[in-house]
Amino acid sequence: MKKTKLKGGSLSQVWLMEPDMGHPFVRKQVSLTKNREYGFQRWYSQLKRQERYAKMFPGIFPDVLDYGVLSDSIAYFDMEYIANSITVHDHLLVTDDSKVIDGIVEMLFITFDTMHQHSWKCARNPIELYFHEEVTTKLNDCQGHPDFDKFANADYIIFNGIEVKPITKQLEKFKRYMVEYFTLTDQTFTHGNSTLENILYVPSTKKMVFIDPYEENIIDSPLCEYSQVYQSANSKYELYNAEIPVIGDHTVEMEIPDAPGLELFNLKFRRELNNRLRQDDMRLVDLLEISQFIRMLPFKVQSGNADMMIFFFAHASNLFRVFEERL
Ligand SMILES: Nc1ncnc2c1ncn2[C@@H]1O[C@H](COP(=O)(O)OP(=O)(O)OP(=O)(O)O)[C@@H](O)[C@H]1O
Ligand SMILES: [Mg+2]
């Protein structure tokens, strides 16, 4: 059987499998022995979420075909292969056609709405657990790394030439805003990690398929989903992630290529959100976008990328500055 690596290197690996007879499929495998909490446990909760969702929302998630063990140390699951697809992120790097982008925004909301139409009332307190786990704990987990400590304890840092106050020095305010603006407390079925690299698009049929769902979100709110789209489109997460930052004493710098399609998508997506949401909700989406960058910081160090941890820490601090300026 032909086996081609699609992506990997982090904790799980993704392969395109092409049997001599029969249909191609995608295999996602993970170590059963190394780093089980962030490796196997995440992979496993993702598998179960995808298995359920593929049945509940036919066509929106690839079907899970099989899962099991390859050896004593490796687990795998196989899923349907979405032929002729490209990630929405990569598609937006090669098109800036306004009509095409309108179609993508429309399709994205149709897909989200299909999942989000099922909702249930929820209390307000989960936001406190979210802040504790995804902000405070994640920042604490980075403490002790000498570069992180230097940036986190500075009075000011310089992010791409802009002076910003580290988010670590503004946590009380950050939490207060989050609690204040968390008023739409209904929860729904969510993707859980809806960055634009986790959404496949088939340009010929305009079909959209969600991959890589994520279970451990604490809050399953549509607003979290939108903030993950912002992570890609407004903050250009994938573009920054592909470059190497220049880290100085208290400065971080990184240049990314122009991406007019992504910019246009961001404008249109924000405009549509503005039509749908109240001001409080829009503010919470902005705050959640900041938290997306904080909750990932320990993973950056763990995957051997401490400079990225510093960069995204500074980026989160800058987003908070922008948030307060907009109030
Ligand atoms: N079912 C699929 N059909 C077609 N291509 C796929 C499919 N699943 C994944 N891919 C391709 O493989 C790439 C990586 O997949 P995925 O997002 O699941 O991995 P990952 O981001 O490395 O996972 P994780 O974040 O869970 O470690 C995708 O960007 C996409 O190009
Ligand atoms: Mg992915």
- Residue ranges of domains in the chain, CATH in brackets: 2-80 (3.30.200.20), 86-326 (3.90.1200)
Cα separation, 183 vs 278, whole angstroms: 10
184 within ligand 1 shell (Cβ under 6 A)? no
CA 241 to chain centre: 12
Atom of ligand 1 nearest to the CA of 9: 22
Question: For a pocket test of ligand 1, which of 3, 5, 6, 30 has the largest count of ligand atoms closer than 8 A to its C-beta?
Answer: 6
| pLDDT at residue 37 in the model | 82
233 within ligand 1 shell (Cβ under 6 A)? no
User: Do residues 132 and 219 touch, judged by C-beta distance below 8 A?
Assistant: no
Q: Are strands 74-80 and 2-7 parallel, antiparallel or unpaired?
A: unpaired
85 within ligand 1 shell (Cβ under 6 A)? yes
pLDDT per residue, tens digit, the chain (327 aa), is 999 999 765 678 999 999 999 999 999 999 999 989 878 999 999 999 999 999 999 999 999 999 999 999 999 999 999 999 999 999 999 999 999 999 999 999 999 999 999 999 999 999 999 999 999 999 999 999 999 999 999 999 999 999 999 999 999 999 999 999 999 999 999 999 999 999 999 999 999 999 999 999 999 999 999 999 999 999 999 999 999 999 999 999 999 999 999 999 999 999 999 999 999 999 999 999 999 999 999 989 888 899 999 999 999 999 999 999 999
| Secondary structure class of 293 (helix, strand, coil) | helix
User: Do residues 276 and 112 touch, judged by C-beta distance below 8 A?
Assistant: no
292 within ligand 1 shell (Cβ under 6 A)? no
**Exposed, middle or buried by CB within 10 Å (0-12, 13-18, 19+), for 172?**
exposed
**Nearest-CA residue for atom 14 of ligand 1:** 7
